[in-house]
Amino acid sequence: MNARSPIKAETLKSVSAELAGQPISSEKAAAHAEIFENIMQMIETLRELPIKDVEPAVIFRPVERDGEDSA
């Protein structure tokens, strides 16, 4: 697994503004960085799982106008 760098407030501020289109203040970015670093430590454990040949459990259904399938 590739090593990850600790999350920086300026990174989250850039992601919010430049990728999400939802700018946040520096203060909020600093608070987010502390919280999201803890979340990211949880999330990255999933990258170690034996899931190479496992398909994601997402549901896709082709839309059929007659049946008004909403998927």
State the Cα–Cα distance between residues 23 and 17, nearest whole angstrom.
4
Q: Where are the alpha helices (DSSP H) in 1-71?
A: 9-14, 26-43
Residue 5 is a binding residue for other proteins (CB under 8 A): no
The single residue among 6, 27, 65, 71 that binds other proteins, judged by CB under 8 A, is 71
Which strand (E) or helix (H) includes residue 20?
A: none
Site for other proteins in 25-54 (CB under 8 A): 28, 32, 35-36, 39, 42-47, 49-51, 54
State the Cα–Cα distance between residues 8 and 37, nearest whole angstrom.
9
Instruction: Please report, as ranges, the residues that interact with other proteins according to CB under 8 A.
Output: 7, 12, 15-16, 19-24, 28, 32, 35-36, 39, 42-47, 49-51, 54-59, 61, 67-71
